[in-house]
Structure 1
Amino acid sequence: MKIVLITGANRSIGLEITKQLSKKGLFIYLGARDLEKGNEAVQQLNKEGFENIKAIEIDVTKPVSIEAARKTVETEQGKLDILINNAGISGEFPQSASSASITAIQHVFDTNFFGVISVTQAFLELLKKSEAPRISNITSGLGSLTLHSDPSWKYYDFKATSYVTSKAALNAFTITLAHELKDLPFKVNAIDPGYTATDFNHHNGPGTVESAATFIIKHTVTANDAPTGMFYSNDIEDETEVSPW
């Protein structure tokens, strides 16, 4: 049975990914900053018939929390097959490039960028024990420098400094990590679930959590000959689904 860790999984897209992977017969660690909320989510999932799910406390901004989660997975499973770095925050608005405080920007980066690096590095040795390790960094099309430079892009005017730059940095980290691990069986990709209506954005956006989760899983649970170091977007309307960096 494949072992999965999903950060920020007690609600929205992370919760839906958990449901869909449970149906596929995988064992999922449902990561949550608040273990009580994580356990509540698991209890509800169990009532709905979902199995092989365990809540695990993990705050991606706190090294002690990350290390405790790593030790739990190591002790109970001895390996990790799939890491989905889903936890993220948008930060407070407005986010003007000329006036956003360094503190506000750092707060978003702590979760969206440094948190991903911290979790990935902590679990890397457990992932190396998998026959087919996968790391999916959940990003946004808003992290595309190419699209942000195109006035015809439908989201061109959304220039939220903290969020946009954190996702662009995350995309860059994905490229460097994928390159470092290219000679191993890892697949490391950045995946944009698209503009999805969730608690994260006050339920704005045309996409559903079901579609978002399906798309993320499609580019996570992949074959051995699948690409690595890619940027996939659920907002790209063609067969490649590859987004410009």
Structure 2
Amino acid sequence: MNRKRNATIAVTAAALSALLVYGIYMLQLRQIRFQETIAVVVPKRFIPAGEQVTAEMVESIPIAKASYRADMIRDVGEVIGMESVVPLGQQEPMLAWKFDRYRLLPGKTESTFQIPKEYVLSVASGIRAGDKVFLYATGKDADTRRLFAEAVTVASVRTSANVEIDDPDNPHLFAMAEGDLENMYASRRSANGAIDAVNLNLTEAQWLELDALCRAGERKLVIAFSSDSLAVEEQGERP
């Protein structure tokens, strides 16, 4: 009887030991999995809604894989030049839906200015709303120079009849939103209308500098299309 009882106790003890070892193993495995990390992009500081993101504002930090979500941004290049739709907290993982790719409306520190016709010498015929352009000042008695280091956003491009220039059957902005470069190019080729008015999103300082240069009529603007307009798509294939 004692021998049978001892055998039962031994078997039970062995089973409990095996369960304990298995439990410890699973706990350690879970801890190891939790400690595995993945790099995501976060703001270095608070970013208010409507602010354009620059490289100095963001960084990559590791987070536990268990906390990772599919819509978290992992590549810093995906957010550079984009605008925050909602406020972003410091060190808060950035989510794709919180950014706007194309900004026709002026940003937080910008206003939309219609550039007076007498200020303009030439406009690249292919520019459309949402494009990025560089501004150059030129004159007979002055050297040509670029006004601002960064490209500025075209809010709208209109004909003399105040109609937005685009292909009415296949607007290029739809192709832009879908990242379809081929369709966007086709839309631009199909659009008709001579550019009569250009509206740009500028900061107050940019507008005052532009106005001061061109007001006297000695200098005029050359508005040139920038390849930065396509950078978003390339990174989305990128960016």
Larger Rg: 2
Tell me which protein shows more helix as a share of its residues. Answer: 1
Structures share fold, TM-score greater than 0.5? no
Tell me which protein shows more strand as a share of its residues. Answer: 2
Give the TM-score category using the shorter length. Answer: under 0.3
